[in-house]
Copies of this chain bind each other. A is one copy, B any other.
Amino acid sequence: MQKPVNFESKLAQFSEHWQPKVVAEMNDYQFKVVKIQGDFIWHAHPETDETIVVLARTLEIAFRDRIVEVQAGEMFVVPRGIEHKTAAEHEAHLLLIEPRGVLNTGHEGGARTAVNDVWI
């Protein structure tokens, strides 16, 4: 049985941006912490919703028709198949919840695709 996962302790163990680290699993879902700054790429996850909990600072999620701002202490569910682009002016800390195997770039691929399933 796992120990409790402390988000701050996990986040203190790395500094790179846009590289999600798995901290726990529930059934076939994974919990990942990630640090982001700047702009990501447009992508979608055709097979699944994706949950983002903001642990520190502010996340901007751009959709084709609007921008959503998510603050620390808030969560947002990006619906499956909807194109989006995440961004953070100042380094933001996030908790991602999604099925095991989902890539950060969805079906876009490319240079911004992080190595998947890295535990911390």
Tell me the bound Cα distance from A77 to B81 in angstroms: 28
- In the assembled complex, A37 has its CB within 8 A of some CB on chain B: no
Contact of A73 among B8, B29, B69, B98 (CB under 8 A): B8
Tell me the bound Cα distance from A24 to B23 in angstroms: 22
A4 touches B97 (CB 8 A): no
- Give the size range of A's interface with the partner: 35 or more
Contact of A75 among B5, B49, B98, B99 (CB under 8 A): B5
Chain A binding surface, main DSSP class: strand
Chain B residues with Cβ below 8 Å from A13 are none
B31 touches A68 (CB 8 A): no
Task: List 7 interface pairs A-B (beta carbons < 8 Å), by A numbering.
Answer: A1-B79, A4-B75, A7-B73, A26-B97, A27-B80, A27-B99, A53-B53
User: Which A residues have a C-beta under 8 Å from some C-beta of B?
Assistant: 1-8, 23-27, 29, 31, 48-51, 53, 63, 68-71, 73-77, 79-80, 82, 97-99
